[in-house]
Amino acid sequence: MSFENLGLSPKVLAAVKAAGYETPTPIQEQAIPFAVKGRDVLGIAQTGTGKTASFVLPMLTRLERGRARARMPRSLILEPTRELAAQVAQSFEAYGAQHNLTVALLIGGVSFVDQNRKLDRGADVLIATPGRLLDHFERGRLLLTGVEVLVVDEADRMLDMGFIPDIERIVKLTPFTRQTLFFSATMPPEIQRLTEAFLSNPERIEATPPSTTGENISQFMLFTPCDPKQKRAALRKAISGQDVTNGIIFCNRKRDVRVVQKSLRKHGFDSAELHGDLDQHVRLETLGGFRDGKVKLLVASDVAARGLDIPAVSHIFNYDVPFNAEDYVHRIGRTGRAGREGMAITLVTPQCRQLIGAVEQLTKQKFEWLGDAPDDADWEARPRGARDAGGRRADGAKRARPAGRGQPAQRAKQKSAPKPARAGKPAPGNAAPKKANARRSPCDSGKKSANNALGDNVPAFLRRPV
């Protein structure tokens, strides 16, 4: 099937042809016809299958008629991260070259003044992250009563980042007659509950089963020691042993991103870092340099794991096994996009047996090992209360509160036992109330005098005997 059979307008078809696309992906082929007709759509597909075009193209077709009013956008697209929002804005610029539509991008790290100026002129398409959108709404700069099309993209990532209460509030501000397009790579039960509340008789489309990885991605595991220096050395050896055009190295913690990136630069690798603590201008500049080929290796946190469309990524290196098994699917989905071949290598330490088991259970596959596969003796049985690389307890144990500074931990168990009453003192049940300790002045000579604070000017009523 071609794009001509999906019901798109001639302007959109011309833009798609100019972009070099001839055949729609499965999610595009199934979702676009229903979206053009105004139906609610629930789209589930793995990363790299063209979900962005599945809602951008029908939205352009629908928005060709009508005009936006000041502070009242006609359509709203919610994205979990700034990078995803900026990427969707670029898609509208590419596909909407022949349309006279105004696109407003509301993300953090950017001045409110420029964003307010675009809202005042009227926005046909509003692309925003939930936090910045609510900031504008609470300032009285935005009304959502004119939204015709609402898109919630990467809904599972919204759940992970804690945006679901904000999403529920935003949806209530939009008219109930809107069209809602809901897209996600995975569909956990919490997201399923939201779709039942947000969508009206939606068309459910599953281009691929949830939580599956691309068949064109070769996946390998590499057993490494727990020592950070040896682990970074194993990473450098894995990169050198592959024909890497460019690659992304994922770490669980932001502080490890900086350490790994400095280590790679020290040993002559062309690398840059990307995480949430960086300034927005630096993040966009780093992504642009990686996309243009100026940077070969991108060391990143999970901020780069969702939805970023960089088609030519050849390798993914997981420096850490992700705590959430679904994050593994999103991480390796940055390679092998648009039918290309990709490779993913995950560094596994002796303490990651449970995490690897969760990934294998989710993806329903057994991974190949580079080098010797570990046996039962190689895995470490972590003691109760031990923490993983991210500071989380592996067994859910709660840390016992210490009995006191400098006291042995065994004394904490004696807290619950009643203390015996000392000789010459009343029992706890009949104990008399303690008197407040009077603080002495440094100039005190040792006598307990109430007059020291007032000097010689003590009022007469304070001198009366009690």
Res 155: pLDDT:
87
Choice between 465 and 366, residue whose per-residue pLDDT is larger:
366
Query: So what's the pLDDT on residue 377?
Result: 84
Whether the pLDDT of residue 339 is over 60: the answer is yes
DSSP state string for 266-302:
HTT--EEEE-TTS-HHHHHHHHHHHHTTS-SEEEE-G
* Angstrom distance (rounded) from CA 259 to CA 270: 14
Interval 315-329: pLDDT, tens: 999 999 999 888 898
First to last CA, the chain: 101
Nearest to 333 by CA among 204, 158, 251, 215: 215
Least confident of 230-234, 371-375, 394-398: 394-398
Amino acid at 22: E
Question: What is residue 22's predicted lDDT score, i.e. its pLDDT?
Answer: 84
Q: How many C-beta neighbours within 10 Å does residue 226 have?
A: 12
For the ranges 136-140, 231-235, 276-280, which has the lowest average pLDDT?
Answer: 276-280
DSSP 412: G
Give the per-residue pLDDT at 388.
Answer: 45
Q: φ, ψ for residue 215 (rounded to 5)?
A: -70, -20
Mean pLDDT over 8-30 rounds to 89
Residue 399 has pLDDT above 50, yes or no: no
Q: Give the span between the Cα atoms of 239 and 249, in whole angstroms.
A: 10
Per DSSP, helices labelled H in 145-291 are 155-160, 164-173, 189-198, 228-240, 254-266, 280-291
Query: How far apart are alpha carbons 302 and 322 in whole angstroms?
Result: 9
- Residue 395 pLDDT > 70: no
Q: Where are the domains of the chain?
A: 3-206, 217-369
Question: Count of CB atoms within 10 A of residue 437's CB?
Answer: 6
234 pLDDT above the threshold of 90? yes
Q: Do domains 3-206 and 217-369 have the same CATH topology?
A: yes
Give tens-digit pLDDT for 76-131.
999 998 888 988 998 998 898 888 899 999 998 888 999 999 999 999 999 999 99
* pLDDT higher than 90, residue 66: no
- Residue 451 is predicted with a pLDDT of 45
Q: Higher pLDDT residue, 145 or 386?
A: 145
| DSSP at 367 | P
Complete edge-to-edge strand list for the sheet that includes strand 125-128? 103-106, 125-128, 75-78, 149-152, 179-184, 41-44, 203-206
Torsion sign across C-alpha atoms 244, 246, 251, 254: positive
Which H or E run includes 18? helix 10-18
Percent over 70 (pLDDT), the chain:
80
- Say yes or no to pLDDT of 379 above 80: yes
Task: Identify the CA nearest to 346 among candidates 250, 216, 237.
Answer: 250
Residue 208 has a pLDDT of: 66
Hey, which CATH number is domain 3-206, 3.40.50.300, 3.30.497.10, 1.10.10.1100, 3.30.499.10?
A: 3.40.50.300
Asked whether the predicted pLDDT for residue 446 surpasses 60, the reply is no
With contact defined as beta carbons under 8 Å apart, do 27 and 205 qualify? yes
Q: Is 415's pLDDT higher than 50?
A: no
Mean pLDDT of 231-257: 93
Least confident span in 26-30, 160-164, 249-253: 160-164
Q: Give the per-residue pLDDT at 209.
A: 64
Helix axes 51-62 and 10-18, enclosed angle (nearest 10):
140
210/252: higher pLDDT: 252
- Of 291-300, 354-363, 394-403, the range with the lowest mean pLDDT is 394-403
Q: How far from the centroid of its chain's Cα atoms is residue 48's Cα?
A: 18
Share the mean pLDDT of the chain: 82
| pLDDT at site 175 | 95
The pLDDT-based confidence of 383 (bands split at 50, 70, 90) is: very low
The CATH fold of domain 217-369: Rossmann fold (3.40.50)
Q: Output the CA torsion sign for 207, 212, 213, 214.
A: negative
pLDDT at residue 403 tops 80: no
By the 8 A CB rule, do 63 and 74 touch? yes
CA dihedral 268, 274, 275, 278 (to 10 degrees): 100
Whether residue 338 is predicted with pLDDT greater than 50 in this model: the reply is yes
DSSP 72: B
